[in-house]
């Protein structure tokens, strides 16, 4: 028969090949590490950056005092060349994220960026002897300190609810 060389694949050969491939995939799966545990939060020590920011910034820099150990600082930065921008992020006890943002940037632009596009509500609240305005609707909810502190804007924002944001705002010390 023309074109026939006796090496044609049969259904049996294809099933055997599929079996070899499945065994190889299973062996690879066994050697790939599987860790389904939640990752530990990488905590940062922000004291040095806080001291640097408090010396360099044109406004009193905010940082919490007296928060329980269950609040873990996870990110910190101060950029004097970018409107004296201060950022301090925390992993809250329930796994949500809360951040403190301050800057001398134009208020509307800064609040929009820091709150991830949230918009002001008509709700204000007194926290720690200061008046804060609630912002909602963006990726984050936020509390924005009314008025300015030496030309800066202070925002407490995050994925946590207003109860968590209020805890952070109440713990802030400006100096």
Express each pLDDT in 93-112 by its tens digit: 999 999 999 999 999 999 99
Phi, psi at residue 136, to the nearest 5°? -140, 170
Q: What is the pLDDT of residue 86?
A: 97
HSE-CB of 102 using CA atoms within 13 angstroms = 32
144-155 CB burial, b ≥16 within 10 A, e <16: bbeeeeeebbbb
Q: What is the pLDDT of residue 41?
A: 78
CA distance 26 to 39: 26
Whole-model pTM?
0.78
Task: Match 């809250």 to its residue by tokens.
Answer: 92
- 163-98-171-173 Cα dihedral, nearest 10 degrees: -140
Q: What is the pLDDT of residue 47?
A: 95
User: Contact 86/103 with Cβ under 8 angstroms?
Assistant: yes
**Nearest one of 135, 133, 115 to 124, comparing CA atoms:** 133
DSSP 149: B
Q: What is the pLDDT of residue 11?
A: 81
Q: What is the pLDDT of residue 98?
A: 97
Q: What is the pLDDT of residue 33?
A: 80
CA distance 109 to 148: 14
Burial class (CB in 10 A: 0-12, 13-18, 19+), 106: exposed
CA distance 161 to 175: 26
CA distance 141 to 23: 50
Q: What is the pLDDT of residue 125?
A: 96
Phi, psi at residue 159, to the nearest 5°? -85, -15
Which regions in the chain score pLDDT beneath 70? 1-9, 37-39, 148
């Amino acid at each position: 028969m023309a074109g026939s060389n006796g090496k044609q694949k049969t259904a049996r050969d294809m099933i055997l090949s599929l079996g070899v491939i499945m065994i190889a995939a299973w062996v690879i799966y066994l050697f790939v590490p599987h860790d389904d545990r939640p990752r530990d939060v990488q905590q940062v020590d922000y004291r040095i950056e806080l001291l640097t920011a408090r010396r360099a910034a044109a406004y009193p820099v905010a940082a919490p005092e007296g928060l329980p150990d269950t609040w873990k600082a996870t990110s910190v930065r101060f950029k004097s060349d970018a409107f004296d921008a201060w950022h301090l992020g925390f992993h809250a006890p329930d796994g949500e994220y809360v951040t403190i943002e301050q800057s001398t940037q134009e208020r509307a632009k800064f609040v929009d960026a820091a709150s991830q596009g949230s918009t002001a509500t008509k709700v204000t609240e007194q926290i720690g002897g200061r008046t804060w305005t609630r912002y909602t609707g963006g990726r984050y909810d936020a509390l924005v300190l009314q008025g300015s502190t030496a030309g800066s804007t202070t925002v407490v924002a995050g994925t946590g609810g207003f109860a968590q944001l209020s805890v952070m705002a109440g713990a802030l010390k400006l100096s």
